[in-house]
Chain A
């Protein structure tokens, strides 16, 4: 069974601060996705990374895939209250299955 561990589980910061969320596994994934979920809704895809060492930027969000394709990080610069939500990473394999981490609940206070 492929497992994904996310840290920290909870994060509460002030508007304008920077933060990093981690997603780690002992397994290699063919791709890794980051999703954001708001209360009462389904997750929405933020980014997919597929190449070891890959870095992708989405406005103030920077995503990195580890060289060995076992881990990933999400860095948010100058967090805003609108960034509040549950951030989930998911690892995919070539058989079509996805494994989700337990998520990081981020609260950004104005």
Chain B
């Protein structure tokens, strides 16, 4: 099992550009999550999904969109990148109460 994989690992965007952060898991977990983590801080929930075709907003959803067409994949879309979106993004899937995290995507918006 690869667990939770994320691509890319690093990305630099210009203000106003768009991009998709990819997340995939091979553990057949129904629950998946996207978080952002600013330096020295905890994780803020952006969006989550309880199963294919179902998504819901977290604490900080503005500026982001998600889709969940399959159990395995949960991409996060930034449409108009802003400097405030500079952060490290973590995807996670959940079995029971344990979340399994990917290695993260470090995004810088200049």
**A interface residue numbers (CB < 8 A to B):** 1, 6, 31, 33, 35, 40-45, 48, 50, 88, 90, 92, 96-103, 105
Report which of B41, B45, B104 forms a contact with A99, defined as CB distance below 8 A. Answer: B45
Which stretch in B12-20, B68-76, B93-101 binds the other chain? B93-101
Smallest Cβ distance from A32 to chain B, in angstroms?
9
CB <8 Å contact, A96 and B45: no
| Residues of chain B at interface, number, CB under 8 A | 26
With A33-B99, A96-B31 given, is the CB distance from A103 to B104 under 8 Å?
no
CB <8 Å contact, B41 and A97: no
Instruction: Summarize A's interface: helix, strand, loop or mixed.
Output: strand
Q: Is B58 an interface residue (CB 8 A)?
A: yes
CB <8 Å contact, B45 and A98: yes
Count of chain A to chain B residue pairs whose CB atoms are closer than 8 Å in the complex: 58
Report which of A1, A44, A98, A101 forms a contact with B33, defined as CB distance below 8 A. Answer: A98
Chain A residues lying within 8 Å of B100, measured Cβ to Cβ, are 45
Instruction: Summarize B's interface: helix, strand, loop or mixed.
Output: strand
CB <8 Å contact, A100 and B97: no
Q: Is B92 an interface residue (CB 8 A)?
A: yes
With A1-B59, A33-B97, A96-B31 given, is the CB distance from A105 to B103 under 8 Å?
no
**B interface residue numbers (CB < 8 A to A):** 4, 31, 33, 35, 40-45, 48, 50, 58-59, 90, 92, 94, 96-104
CB <8 Å contact, B48 and A42: no
CB <8 Å contact, B42 and A100: yes
The list of the 10 closest CB pairs from A to B, nearest first, reads: A42-B101, A102-B42, A100-B42, A100-B43, A31-B97, A48-B97, A103-B42, A45-B98, A96-B50, A42-B90
